[in-house]
Structure 1
């Protein structure tokens, strides 16, 4: 496909769980400059609390904006706006000036899933990570409605703050502590002089709303058909598909806001530390004094490992799900024949096995089969992962040309906000392009089937074991009594 030259650009901020990425993108979806900075390790010294240390989110965004602008060889005056995408389910407690009273709580922090009432009298505002960064960029206490899911007094049907006083009581949040809400693609504000000094962005540059990072990723992946599913291979792994309704009546999926104004997405169950487990394993190998190991070398070695990883199974509960707090991560099936590449491949295969169960549960509840799966996120860069998914899921898998789909989704929101495109369909079709498509191989599909069945049944055996090890309320049976 020949893409026309462009004279109009937007800057997209993708603040994820492990790093911040910034891209400068033209109106056709071409990336002209980019930068990335890893976030600092989470502070987890208090049990149940997971926080971004100090002011790490803002500092990483400011530094990455400066780096991307320095790498941009085009005319910076042609940048029409900023699309801001940040991690979902985070919580920021702010003072009257919009500064942090304490570090931002991660989505993994136990407090964000309960009615946490801050005890600090300095807390004047309670918002998401996007609400906090909007304030740092623009000075406005404004946020996207599409980043409010979970323990917030939000009316998901009206897409506005609740009119029921009981919702404020149950969440521990007052109305006066909440930001003004706007839809994706709408104006959040303009870059202030102070923010311009910190980021290198021009003062007065418009900043546009997106949604939560998963929804923005769906937009940047071109997810538009209800017969397709997007598999997001990020720190949190989940599957999504467009929704016909703003609420779910099934336990097999829930409904999230879309990054298209007024829209919604069905989202499956997932893996809470999905691709993070790959980073953990790589860093573990490097910390043990082995020769320098990167994901490329692990990928190359794992391609030589047979299907099923020599009988090795990974259980990916490195961060336990809320309904099974006793669960832990594990590798099962060692017999002395496996090495580092078997371990790596077993993690990839466990991701595919686990998400097959979640995807099929959502299909059953919705009464339709997904004919194709789009893969996005950092894990989509792995060609081996694509082949494993195609064969375990037994359906075609494709990835897009821009693997930072959340970044491209943020750019699309900015292109809409800046008036470069008048509607979402046109913007998506102009910017999102297919890179690769992998078809399932019948022999590999058949070879994977028994391993997938075994993996799906492992929890029946490991749940009692983990409960016994934890000493929790579940009663173990048999030899664990």
Structure 2
């Protein structure tokens, strides 16, 4: 049988999707398995069991084979993309040592030794000391190392979710360069682990042996193991091709491959991205991220809790639509569209500032969300439209 299809797996924040495409990019079949983004044992924490992601990945693939008109024998290879900046500590057997810290987590590490030496002097002279300290405090590795030293001591590899799922699929501690988005000693300009002289090793003290080997996008990460084949239904021996993080895959999938073409992403984090073959820091010390295009970068501005706010609205104010959606067999979001159409542009003066989580540099870590302009004419529908308009204007400001 001709192998003329590709299996794509997308492990996002709110669902896991398994999709089959032909070689021209046409979608042949898609399965979506909703997941719980995280649980929270303390205010501001966001964690999830790594095995939960793996189990739902397996469930999505198994459902795909049942529903797809394309037989698995026609699949030539597999590509994996995941949510960014979710970290997993594993032992020598790839078994998680603690829950994964999800990218939405808000805990911070206080009392860390600031970056010193020539780097510290350079940061003071350039006025970037506060930014470097903020990045240190935000790094999950620093929190685990200082708050759970027994876990850190037992850690064999410190991986992003993409690296953990890759290990489960191919049995190797490797990851794609395109997935390296988060607080690790990664050199975003060189697209490789930072040199030992780099300040990031001071800010993020760790043994370089904790990190996986990095493979460029489009290169084979490994082959599907018999164990993974049994769990997922993916034929053993198929190559797993290095892809990139979810936002990078969105950018290339939308055809935004030049600096003058922007990709708007209405995801859990709402972003605007462009692709550049030149390294440019839109905000000093905040690097562009690796692109799915070899040797290129994605310049990104994001609203941290972007279209997550639709889920927030649904949970807090959308009980009526959720009940009606179950009766009609549709998604609640389809019914929310009716709310939008019932309200004129501008939401009759109701304005929303969409910073339910703060920004790094803009609008700043002290930012808060706000809804202003209420009058007696305003309803739930106005609030929902104000959410969409607030996000749109924030993204436009990023452009």
TM-score bucket (shorter structure): 0.7 to 0.9
Distance 1:301 1:239 in 2: 26
Is contact 1:235–1:273 with CA below 8 Å preserved after alignment?
yes
* Counterpart among 217, 233, 252 of residue 200 in structure 1: 233
Could you say which residue in structure 2 is the equivalent of 1:392?
A: none
Q: Offset of 1:286 from its aligned partner?
A: 3.9
Which digits, 9 at most, give the CA deviation of each residue in 1:340-399, with x for residues without a partner?
21111111110111111111xxxxxxxxxxxxxxxxxxxxxxxxxxxxxxxxxxxxxxxx
Normalised by the length of structure 2, the TM-score is 0.83
Is contact 2:282–2:288 with CA below 8 Å preserved after alignment?
no
* Counterpart among 310, 326, 344 of residue 348 in structure 2: 310
Residue 17 in structure 1 maps to residue 17 in structure 2: no
* Counterpart among 324, 330, 333 of residue 292 in structure 1: 324
Is contact 1:26–1:32 with CA below 8 Å preserved after alignment?
yes
How many residues are aligned here?
353
Structure 2 runs not aligned, ≥5 long? 109-136, 326-331
Q: Offset of 1:213 from its aligned partner?
A: 1.2
Residue 337 in structure 1 maps to residue 377 in structure 2: yes
Distance 2:374 2:285 in 1: 33
Distance 1:73 1:335 in 2: 53
Could you say which residue in structure 2 is the equivalent of 1:231?
A: 264
Is contact 2:188–2:288 with CA below 8 Å preserved after alignment?
no
Is contact 1:230–1:241 with CA below 8 Å preserved after alignment?
yes
Residue 187 in structure 1 maps to residue 220 in structure 2: yes
Could you say which residue in structure 1 is the equivalent of 2:397?
A: 357
Distance 2:322 2:188 in 1: 50
Could you say which residue in structure 1 is the equivalent of 2:66?
A: 70
Is contact 2:306–2:391 with CA below 8 Å preserved after alignment?
yes
Could you say which residue in structure 1 is the equivalent of 2:46?
A: 50
Tell which has more relative contact order, 1 or 2 (C-alpha 8 A, sep 6+): 1
Structure 1 runs not aligned, ≥5 long? 1-5, 360-481
Is contact 1:43–1:53 with CA below 8 Å preserved after alignment?
no
Distance 1:333 1:252 in 2: 36
Is contact 2:188–2:287 with CA below 8 Å preserved after alignment?
no
Could you say which residue in structure 2 is the equivalent of 1:274?
A: 306
Residue 216 in structure 1 maps to residue 241 in structure 2: no
Is contact 1:190–1:206 with CA below 8 Å preserved after alignment?
yes
Which digits, 9 at most, give the CA deviation of each residue in 1:109-147, with x for residues without a partner?
246932512511321110111110000111001101122
Change over 3 Å in CA distance of 1:250–1:122 after alignment to 2: closer
Could you say which residue in structure 1 is the equivalent of 2:169?
A: 137
Could you say which residue in structure 2 is the equivalent of 1:164?
A: 196
Aligned Cα RMSD in Å? 2.2
Which digits, 9 at most, give the CA deviation of each residue in 1:86-125, with x for residues without a partner?
1111111111111111111111224693251251132111
Could you say which residue in structure 1 is the equivalent of 2:138?
A: 113
Q: Report SS of the residue matched to 1:338.
A: coil
Normalised by the length of structure 1, the TM-score is 0.69
Distance 2:104 2:323 in 1: 32
Q: Which range is displaced more, 111-120 or 298-307?
A: 111-120
Q: Offset of 1:292 from its aligned partner?
A: 2.6
Change over 3 Å in CA distance of 1:157–1:354 after alignment to 2: closer
Distance 1:147 1:34 in 2: 23
Distance 1:224 1:161 in 2: 25
Distance 2:392 2:286 in 1: 18
* Counterpart among 77, 91, 95 of residue 91 in structure 2: 95
Residue 262 in structure 1 maps to residue 295 in structure 2: yes
Change over 3 Å in CA distance of 1:90–1:347 after alignment to 2: same
Q: Offset of 1:53 from its aligned partner?
A: 3.6
Superposed counterparts of 1:419-458, under 5 Å: none
Distance 2:37 2:174 in 1: 28
Distance 2:13 2:197 in 1: 33
Which digits, 9 at most, give the CA deviation of each residue in 1:58-88, with x for residues without a partner?
1111111111121112232110010010111
Is contact 1:226–1:243 with CA below 8 Å preserved after alignment?
yes
Distance 1:289 1:34 in 2: 25
Change over 3 Å in CA distance of 1:250–1:328 after alignment to 2: closer
Which digits, 9 at most, give the CA deviation of each residue in 1:213-239, with x for residues without a partner?
111110111112221111111001111
Distance 1:11 1:290 in 2: 32
